Amino acid sequence: MSRKNFVFTSESVSEGHPDKVCDRISDEVVDLFYREALEQGFDPWEVRVACETLATTNRVVIAGETRGPASVTPAKIEAAARKAIKDIGYEQAGFHWETAKIEILLHSQSADIAQGVDSGEQKEEGAGDQGIMFGYACDETPELLPAPIYYSHRILKLLADARHSGKEKALGPDAKSQVSVAYKNGKPVAATQIVVSHQHVDESLSSNDVLKLVKPYVRKALPKGWITADTVWHVNPTGKFFIGGPDGDAGLTGRKIIVDTYGGAAPHGGGAFSGKDPTKVDRSAAYAARYLAKNVVAAGLAKRCCIQLSYAIGVAQPLSIYVDTYGTGKVPEAKLEKALSKVMDLTPRGIRTHLNLNRPIYARTSAYGHFGRAAEKDGGFSWERTDLVKALKAAVK
């Protein structure tokens, strides 16, 4: 029997965290290739991007392999990177959108990889690599995401919005949050510990000054009654946090995979998302698995649902589909496994078609989680829709 009373913790990091700066730049490159493809008449199905970014003191290195329209020039990639850094808010001496040196080391995609993806098994588009991907959903929050990661993201998003609006001019772009959530009878009920480390642009601010500044946003982010007299606060616990971002610590694409997904409440296949076009199943199949898990929970077929998909490079069909509902399912898991492949084509092409992924929708995913966000009118976060509820109910009858 699983535990009903416990404390679980998840963390989030802001868009100005060094690794998130790199995720944003890498995803801006993906978006640039899709935007140019759509504008130039290049077939978006043929776009390939695998982009990694490194950032440190006043320096950015962008490397990887690509395929796409010739109109995507190094100058356009550099401009996209500078715009991303500016949007995040970096105009400090050690990392400035205008003066940072940007080196671009992108080259053409390997022909060996391309042949596996382009033709694949039986001339059908294959997966871009082998791997395992997980999707998860639960009924703890409105967006069917685990409460600790959902509220950790929400704290930082509210603080970022206040900074961008000019309301909180004392805040810098770099920040981290962490929420420890107490569960009683399996339900999240309170925050036992709250951690916020936030960069500040006024070097004279103390930890207590920052605590007073961030406290109202934390209270707004969490459900009413979650903060009690017993809640312990840790705000800038080491003291001053003036030097932040890539000037304080080097950043790399793909180093915050648990922040990007379920905060440790569910398994992770190991592959990062940012900087990858959706032929890479690390990204697209993880989105598909989340989409299916969310629809299972939204359909009332389980209170918790974890789905694993596995793929081999060049092979179109998933090698396996696994479902675990942690004893909360209304139908047998084996029945759900069969139903999933009926309601959605889980080949790489099928996923891209169903979720409409061949578009410039990725930079917005690079901070505050790839999951637990509302599906957007332009198709962004399409994997957060719950439009398979009816089909799933019919498939398991």
User: Which of the residues are catalytic?
Assistant: 17, 19-20, 52, 65, 176, 241, 249-250, 255-256, 276, 280, 282
Place of tokens 């981290």: 176
Q: How large is the greatest C-alpha to C-alpha distance in the chain, in angstroms?
A: 65
- Judge whether 127 and 316 are in contact, CB under 8 Å: yes
Strands (E), the chain: 6-13, 48-56, 59-67, 91-92, 95-96, 101-108, 131-138, 171-184, 187-200, 232-235, 251-252, 304-311, 320-324
| Tokens read off for 249 | 């610590």
Q: CA 164, CA 171: separation in Å to the nearest integer?
A: 10
User: Between vectors from CA 235 to CA 234 and to CA 241, what angle results, nearest 5°?
Assistant: 135
| Tokens read off for 219 | 């209270």
As a dihedral over the C-alpha atoms of residue 198, residue 201, residue 203, residue 206, rounded to 10 degrees, the angle is: -40
Tally of CB atoms within 10 A around 384: 22
How far is C-alpha 82 from the chain's CA centre? 21
| Tokens read off for 256 | 């915050």
Q: CA 78, CA 251: separation in Å to the nearest integer?
A: 17
How far is C-alpha 393 from the chain's CA centre? 28
Burial of 43 (C-beta count, 10 Å sphere; 0-12/13-18/19+): exposed
User: Between vectors from CA 133 to CA 131 and to CA 134, what angle results, nearest 5°?
Assistant: 155
Task: Give 111's contacts (C-beta < 8 A, 6+ positions apart).
Answer: none
